[in-house]
């Protein structure tokens, strides 16, 4: 069965330092993987997506993620955190070829310290 | 271009009542999905519509229903509201059913009292 595990419920970093949000997935198929961000009291915004092209995916706002099949991971990184990055981040996997339902991770709240 | 529009933004209803939420997808998008977001359960899939047909349904009771119109606009209905239905309901649209990424609306915050 497909599943997504976000390894940290909260991550706290200082402004200007690197960000790492961890995500592991389980999928019987070649998965499509996504990262979404949700700012307080706002809807969800697509940060980036992996759909079997390049394994290193670049997204908006300086974020990128690397698909590692051997580790079944899709970690999200950013070289230098900004105060505006404070939000909740969701790792998402699609169910596969004939089912377009998305399976969502529990979310990681990113806290930026000044 | 206009994004996904959900109306109303906020709603307060009494237990036992019913409610209808509306979602207008991005122009040209034919797939609309609905999600319930609560602090305890996170994001849970309700259903997906494509070309006016429900293609997938999540694990929710029959009190939750939806439909999609020929212009791809979608409505979600919850009957006999319970306190536990209080949540942020999010609608997402996509050009096709392929997983190229959904665009989400800002959601409807439903409070059941």
If you write DSSP's letter for every residue of A63-94 in order, what string do you get?
-EEEEETTTTEEEEEESS--GGG-EEEEEEEE
Note the pLDDT of residue A99: 58
Mean of pLDDT values over A45-61:
89
Q: How confident is the model at residue B63 (pLDDT cuts 50, 70, 90)?
A: very high
Q: Do A43 and B105 touch (CB under 8 A)?
A: yes
- How far is B101 from A93, CA to CA, in rounded Å? 11
Closest-CA distance, A62 to chain B, in angstroms, reads 18
Structure tokens at A8: 């940290």
Instruction: Give chain B positions within 8 Å (CB) of A102.
Output: 33, 45, 99, 102
- How far is A77 from A67, CA to CA, in rounded Å? 12
Q: Which residues are bridge partners to A26 per DSSP?
A: A3
Q: How many cross-chain Cβ pairs, A to B, lie less than 8 Å apart?
A: 48
Pairing of strands B108-112, B10-13: parallel
**DSSP of B48-59, one letter per residue?**
EEETTEEEEE-S
Count CB-CB contacts under 10 A for residue B7: 12
Q: Do B45 and A101 touch (CB under 8 A)?
A: yes
Q: How confident is the model at residue B9 (pLDDT cuts 50, 70, 90)?
A: very high
pLDDT tens, position by position, A20-43: 999 999 877 778 889 999 998 778
Sequence-ordered list of residues with C-beta below 8 angstroms from that of B20, at least 6 positions apart, any chain: B75, B76, B77
pLDDT tens, position by position, B24-60: 999 999 999 999 999 888 889 899 999 999 988 889 9
A45 touching B (Cβ < 8 Å): yes
Q: Do A44 and B92 touch (CB under 8 A)?
A: yes
Q: Do A101 and B43 touch (CB under 8 A)?
A: no
Q: How confident is the model at residue B101 (pLDDT cuts 50, 70, 90)?
A: confident
Of B43, B98, B106, the CB nearest to A104: B43
Which chain B residue lies closest to A90 (C-alpha atoms)?
B43
Note the pLDDT of residue B41: 83
Q: Which of A66-75, B39-48, B88-97 ranks highest by mean pLDDT?
A: A66-75
Of B56, B98, B103, the CB nearest to A101: B56
Which chain A residue lies closest to B89 (C-alpha atoms)?
A43
Closest to A104 measured CA to CA, from B50, B38, B51:
B38
pLDDT above 80 (res B100): no
Instruction: Give chain B positions within 8 Å (CB) of A51.
Output: 99-100
Note the pLDDT of residue B36: 95
Mean of pLDDT values over B72-79:
97
Detail the DSSP E strand segments found in chain A: 3-6, 10-14, 19-21, 23-26, 33-38, 44-50, 56-58, 64-68, 73-78, 87-96, 99-104, 108-113
pLDDT above 70 (res A97): no
């Amino acid at each position: 069965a497909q599943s997504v595990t976000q390894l940290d419920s909260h991550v706290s970093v200082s402004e200007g330092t690197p960000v790492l949000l961890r995500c592991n997935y389980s999928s019987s198929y070649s998965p499509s993987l996504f990262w979404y961000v949700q700012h307080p009291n706002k809807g969800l915004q697509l940060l980036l997506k992996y759909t079997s092209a390049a394994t290193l995916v670049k997204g908006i706002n300086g974020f990128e993620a690397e698909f590692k099949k051997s580790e079944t991971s899709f970690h999200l990184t950013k070289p230098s955190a900004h105060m505006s990055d404070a939000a909740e981040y969701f790792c998402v996997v699609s169910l596969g070829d004939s089912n377009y339902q998305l399976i969502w991770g529990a979310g990681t709240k990113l806290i930026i310290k000044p | 271009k206009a994004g996904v529009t959900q109306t109303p933004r906020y709603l307060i209803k009494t237990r036992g009542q019913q409610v209808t939420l509306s979602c207008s997808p991005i122009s040209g998008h034919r797939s609309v999905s609905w999600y319930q977001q609560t602090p305890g359960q996170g994001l849970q899939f309700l259903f997906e519509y494509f070309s006016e047909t429900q293609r997938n349904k999540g694990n929710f009771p029959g009190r939750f229903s939806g439909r999609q119109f020929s212009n791809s606009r979608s409505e979600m209905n919850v009957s006999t509201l319970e306190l536990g239905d209080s949540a942020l309901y999010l609608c997402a649209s996509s050009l096709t059913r392929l997983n190229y990424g959904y665009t989400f609306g800002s959601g409807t915050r439903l409070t059941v009292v």
